[in-house]
Amino acid sequence: MASNNIYDTFVASLTQWIHNGLYHLLPPTWALIVELTIIGLVFLVFYALVGLFLVYAERKVCAFMQNRVGPNRVGKYGIFQTIADFIKLLMKELVLIKNSDKLLFNIAPFIVIIASFMAIAAIPFSKGLHAIDFDIGILYVIAVSSLGVIGVLLAGWSSNNKYSLIGAMRSGAQIISYELSVGMSLLTIIILAGTMQFSEIVQGQQYGWFIFKGHIPAFIAFIVFLIASTAETNRGPFDLAEAESELTAGFHTEYSGIKFAFFFLAEYMNMFIVASIAATVFLGGWMPFHVWGWTRFNQVMDYIPPSIWYLGKTAFVIWLMMWFKWTFPRLRIDQLLTLEWKYLLPINLFNILMMAFIVLMGWHF
Amino acid sequence: MNLEKLKERILTLVPEAELEENKQFLTFFIPAGKLHAMALRLKEDEDTAFDYLFCQSGADMGKYIMVVYHLESTKLGHAIVLKVKTEDRQNPAFDTICDIWRTAEFHEREIFDLFGIRFNNHPDLRRLLLDENWVGYPLRKDYQDEVNIVEL
Amino acid sequence: MKEDIHTPVPSIEEEEYHINMGPQHPSTHGVLRLVVSLQGEIVKGLKPHCGYIHRGIEKMCEKDTYPQIIHLTDRMDYLSTHINNHALCLLVENALQIEVPERVKYIRTIMDELCRIQSHQLWWASFGMDLGGLTCFFYGLRDREKILDIWEETTGARFLQSYYTPGGLMQDIHPDFQKHVKEFLKYFKKKIRDYEKILSGNVIFLERSRNIGLMTKEEAINYGVTGPSGRGSGFSCDVRKHHPYALYDKVEFKEILYQEGDTLARYKVRMDEMYESMHIIEQLIDNIPEGDYTAKMKAVIKLPAGEYYQRVETARGDLGLYCISDGNKTPYRLKFRTPSFSNLSVLDHISREFKIADLVAIGGSLDLVIPDIDR
């Protein structure tokens, strides 16, 4: 059982205090609006900080694998490198494209950011630390994060540039295909958990994470989810939409300055979201590593705060994704689509059947 | 095939060829009008079988302009040199052989670019290394260019 | 994108459009402009536009003496500098019938093979990078630095050394040369196994290169594609075997031939050539005889009137020097038959009906160095 350690109690009491204070001071509708604004701002700040940190982490991990040092000049160990980059991007000239569709060109980056922002609202960071707790949580997250493809297609089309168009088309086809695999691998775990609500899913992993409880089908689902979600976020061996050596920068070639920063940030945030979902659904979210029956061990595990567990697992999955981005060459578009439709889809379907059978027979831990 | 037999075979196939003495390879001058037909014969005949054109160069010898073809046979291992020349410095023209050896396509474009020698029936004869608007043919001996060439 | 109205482009049919790759582009190695005619993702034809780095080397050679031309040969294919120098030195030495000391031949052969290894290392690094495995670039260049350090010690330069001169070498090798070369060989034997693991054995890489850019042996001969690109199609064209120079008739090495003619075959030829080069160096490194590092040459070198042709095997293929001399100290006409020039001409033919992502792989596997094409 996750203990109410000091950090989480502090946060819970802080939120309670703010809530009471607002309802005391203002009429209910206004209090609700102010509360929502505060939550929105907190998430914005969190979003920005995580994005900055992830960019720095990627550069350091990439450097480690390539036998070099990475940023180490700006600030100690280069931790202010991303902030310096961000300031530079803010100061860049926003190049106006002739003959581009101005409205679509400008709103495309925002759509991508909004989609990832909406998805992150549903992820539980700790017991009770949850913005929205829908009872169809997983469905909501998948639905909302697939809105991002609209932003990508709009960006490619409105740039009035052949390279961007090719990049956007490739990207669109890729994302839409891999949606299926993502959804179905999560479906496998939903069968095991019996619920789509995130807090219930995490609670159900109290005596063992789903990846261990569901043994073979859950493990297969985890691998498929990792592959499919890397393709979803245009990362790793599936990054031909931005293949630098072929088409300069793909769908965001014509964007400069802050708009480019949005696409860039949205890619890292998508990676974070996808890693959080993997960590929550397969690896137990904020639930520490418990083994059924080893009470002593469980108590020791409980000393580490749940938020640290959650962030640690997410970091592990992110590190895995970075690892295979810098190791493998990239796939061609037809090989990518072949992988999805001819290999991952049948594997997924078979996996779902196997999981349903196992749950029916009770052959899980 | 030893050199004597090769020489005889070539003179049988291309009777109008004139042998040049004392060169590193067997060297023949061929009349410009018969170039294409003779080259085809040299490639298709089984005893000579020159299937590899390993160098095609132009040269401005002052009195005449010539094109030099270095041919080799990958099956039989021998190599010869063919030369064609023309004294017409205003509009030198030869037949193309890029339908016999595809590598000649680029070589002939380069020779056209730098010497001004036209090749009849070439599929795409335009300048290769210099700008389309360049005037003059730099590798000719009488080429003057005050801007780009510094005479010491 | 406004098309250049002066330049004829591949014919425009229904649904075809043109893309311009270069002259500045991350994956064309050097300044080469390709106008690619595409139908969707399929390449229907391409026209290369060269000449962005044309410096008029052949014209300059008509005014330079033979030792001065050494410096120009460096700058043509800048990854096979020693081998290019070797070609000119052999041309002069054979024309004047000068016998260079044995020591010179040993050192020249070892330097040539080191040059070949380093060129293939850079090729591997950029080929991996083009396909998306960005880490390959760092590993390849890190190991290439070891060879550049050896050269810097002996010749004073990492790049464009101009170390050979007609008659011998500019100066003798550094006393630590043999030790460092042996250390390098030991080090690189381990590292090349890493290369095999990262790229050669990777299923994504194999899918990207198998049956891509097929070139038959007849096409290779017809287009004059030599070097590893030609040997990947079974065209036996290694000048070191057919017209040996330096010590190549005395050392034991294999000519690597593969028959498939696709990108994977060309890749494997170069990987195996690195092993063969190391084998050649191993046979020679301990046996360098004592002696002079140069033969006695006159102060002014004049080739007797006549025509001379010299061939060597650079890392890219068959380099030929055709010299017409009229007895002066400068050549009357010096023509360089460079391997990348002919290798480029086949790019259009073999990349038809493949996708644009494959075009990058095919271009990388042909290993073009653009200054070699333009001269």
| Residues on chain B touching C6 (C-beta within 8 angstroms) | 132-133
The CATH number given to whatever domain includes residue B81 is 3.30.460.80
The crossing angle, in degrees rounded to 10, of helices A258-281 and A215-232 is 180
- Tell me if C207 and A65 make a contact (CB, 8 A cut-off): no
Q: Do A329 and C205 touch (CB under 8 A)?
A: yes
Would you call A229 helix, strand, or coil by DSSP? helix
Q: pLDDT class for C275, splitting at 50, 70, 90?
A: very high
- The answer to whether residue C127 neighbours chain A at the CB level (below 8 Å) is no
* CA pair distance A288, A183, nearest whole angstrom: 26
Question: What pLDDT score was predicted for residue A333?
Answer: 80
- How confident is the prediction along chain A (365 residues), in pLDDT tens digits per residue? 344 566 667 777 777 887 888 778 778 788 888 888 888 888 888 888 888 889 898 999 888 888 888 888 888 888 888 888 888 888 887 777 777 778 888 888 888 888 888 888 888 887 767 777 888 888 888 888 888 888 888 888 888 877 678 778 878 888 888 988 899 999 888 888 888 888 888 888 877 788 888 788 888 999 999 999 898 888 878 887 766 445 555 777 777 778 888 888 888 888 888 898 899 888 888 878 777 777 777 777 777 778 888 888 999 999 999 988 888 888 888 888 898 999 999 999 999 999 898 888 887 76
B70: domain range? 3-93
pLDDT in tens, B35-72: 888 888 888 888 878 889 988 998 888 888 889 999 88
Give contacts of B81 with chain C, Cβ < 8 Å.
Answer: 307
Residue C61 to residue C77: CA distance in whole angstroms: 16
Pick from C27, C139, C207: which is nearest to A246 by CB? C27
Contact C135 A327 (CB under 8 A): yes
Q: Is B13 at the interface with chain C, CB within 8 A?
A: no
| Cα separations in angstroms, A46 against A14, A39, A82, A88, C82 | 17, 10, 15, 21, 57
Q: Tell me, what's the pLDDT at C314? A: 92
Region of C261 (left: φ > 0; alpha: ψ -120 to 50; beta: rest) is left
∠ at Cα B45 (B42, B49), nearest 5°? 70
- Residue C318 has its nearest CB partner, among B51, B54, B131, at B54
Q: Tell me the domain boundaries of chain A.
A: 6-66+73-361
Asked whether residue B143 is domain-assigned, the answer is: no
* The predicted structure's pLDDT at residue C319: 92
Structural domain includes residue B120: no
Mutate to test the interface with C, among A330, A331, A337, A338 (most CBs of C within 10 A): A330
Mean model confidence pLDDT for chain C: 87
Interface of A with C in 236-255 (CB under 8 A): 237, 239-240, 243-246, 248
Closest CA relative to residue A66, chosen from B54, C134, B91: C134
Nearest Cβ partner for B130 among C54, C224, C320? C54
Q: Identify the pLDDT of residue C339.
A: 92
**What's the gap in Å between the CA of B130 and the closest CA on chain C?**
6
> What 3-state DSSP class applies to B20?
strand
Q: Where are the domains of chain C?
A: 57-374
Q: Token pair 């198998």 is at which residue? A: C210
pLDDT digits (tens, 9 = 90+) for C112-135: 999 999 999 999 998 888 888 888
The residue whose two tokens read 């261990």 is: A212
> Which of C16, C41, C42, C200 has the most A C-beta neighbours within 10 Å, making it the best mutation to test the interface with A?
C41
For residue range C305-332, what is the model confidence (pLDDT) as tens digits?
A: 888 899 999 999 999 999 999 888 889 9
Biggest alpha carbon–alpha carbon distance for chain A: 68
Q: Are C271 and C196 in contact (CB under 8 A)?
A: yes
Residue with tokens 């023509």: C335
Please give the CATH superfamily to which domain C57-374 belongs. Answer: Cytochrome-c3 Hydrogenase, chain B (1.10.645.10)
Task: Examine chains C and A and say if they touch (3+ CB pairs below 8 A).
Answer: yes
Flag whether pLDDT at B143 surpasses 70: yes
Chain segment B98-122, per-residue pLDDT in tens: 888 888 989 999 999 888 888 888 8
Average pLDDT over residues C342-352: 89
Query: Is B124 in contact with C374 (Cβ distance < 8 A)?
Result: no
- Which pLDDT score is estimated for B1? 62
Beta bridge partners of B58: B67
Give C27's pLDDT tier (boundaries 50, 70, 90).
Answer: low
SS (H, E, C) chain C: CCCCCCCCCCCCCCCCEEEEECCCCCCCCCCCEEEEEEECCEEEEEEEECCCCCCCHHHHHCCCCHHHHHHHHHCCCCCCHHHHHHHHHHHHHHHHCCCCCHHHHHHHHHHHHHHHHHHHHHHHHHHHHHHCCCHHHHHHHHHHHHHHHHHHHHHCCCCCCCCEECCEECCCCCCCHHHHHHHHHHHHHHHHHHHHHHHHCCHHHHHHHCCCCCCCHHHHHHHCCCHHHHHCCCCCCCHHHHCCCCCCCCCCCCCCCCCCCCHHHHHHHHHHHHHHHHHHHHHHHCCCCCCCCECCCCCCCCCCCEEEEEEEECCCCEEEEEEEECCCCCCCEEEEECHHHHHHHCHHHHCCCCEHHHHHHHHHHHCCCHHHHHC
Say what the pLDDT of residue A328 is: 86
pLDDT score at C268: 92
Bond before C10 cis per omega within 30 degrees: no
| Interchain CB distance below 8 Å, C139 and A66 | yes
Task: Evaluate whether residue B77 is within a structural domain.
Answer: yes
* Residue C14: predicted pLDDT: 56
Q: Is the dihedral of CA C178, C183, C186, C190 positive or negative?
A: negative
Q: H helices then E strands: how many in chain A?
A: 16, 0
Question: A324 to chain C: nearest residue by CA?
Answer: C133
Measure B118 CA to nearest chain C CA, in Å.
18
For chain B, the domain total comes to 1
CA separation for the pair A279, C150 (Å, rounded): 50
Model confidence at C186, pLDDT cuts 50, 70, 90, reads: very high
Order the strands of the C33-39 sheet from edge to edge. Answer: C17-21, C33-39, C42-49
Would B126 be classed as within a structural domain? no
A156 or C15: whose pLDDT is higher?
Answer: A156
pTM surpassing 0.90?
no
Of C63, C224, C306, the CB nearest to B103: C224
The partner residues of C42 in beta bridges, in order of sequence, read C39, C355
With beta carbons less than 8 A apart as the criterion, state whether A8 and A305 touch.
yes
A324 at the C interface (CB within 8 A)? no
Q: Are B42 and B97 in contact (CB under 8 A)?
A: no
Mean pLDDT is lowest, of A111-120, A356-365, B14-23, C356-365, for: B14-23
**Which positions 94-133 of B are in contact with C (Cβ < 8 Å)?**
101-103, 105-107, 110, 114, 124, 126-133
Mode of pairing for the β-strands spanning B79-86 and B26-29: parallel
Mutation site, B20, B21, B24, B151, interface C, largest C CB count within 10 A: B24
DSSP H/E element including B52 = strand B52-60
